[in-house]
């Protein structure tokens, strides 16, 4: 976190750490909205996709979901 200079100013560090992680587990993809997400297991993946469906359901849009399992890559 940064430093609070006064009530309206927050200064943050200029550097940003980027963490890259090998993709393993499951991903979901919605062909209608061209949106994707991931989860560690199929249940989590379905849950995350469910949130996407609920978000668009409000506008009456119907999603077109695809699930895919990915090989877990060995971490260095
Ligand atoms: Zn969708």
What is the Å distance from ligand 1's center to 52 Cα? 6
CA angle 10, 15, 18 (to 5 degrees): 115
What is the Å distance from ligand 1's center to 49 Cα? 8
Question: CA 11 to CA 39: how far, in whole Å?
Answer: 34
What was the pLDDT predicted at 19? 58
Low-confidence ranges of the chain (pLDDT < 50): none
What is the Å distance from ligand 1's center to 64 Cα? 6
What was the pLDDT predicted at 59? 87
The answer to whether the CB of 65 falls within 8 A of the CB of 30 is yes
Positive/negative CA dihedral, 11, 13, 14, 19: negative
What was the pLDDT predicted at 66? 95
pTM (whole model) above 0.75? no
pLDDT in tens, 24-38: 799 999 999 999 999
């Amino acid at each position: 976190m940064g430093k609070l200079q006064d009530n309206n100013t927050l200064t943050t560090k200029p550097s940003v750490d980027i963490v890259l992680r090998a993709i393993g587990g499951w991903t979901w993809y919605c062909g209608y909205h061209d949106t994707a997400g991931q989860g560690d297991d199929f249940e989590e993946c379905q849950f995350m996709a469910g949130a996407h469906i609920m978000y668009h359901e409000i506008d009456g849009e119907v999603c077109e979901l695809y699930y895919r399992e990915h090989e877990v890559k060995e971490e260095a």
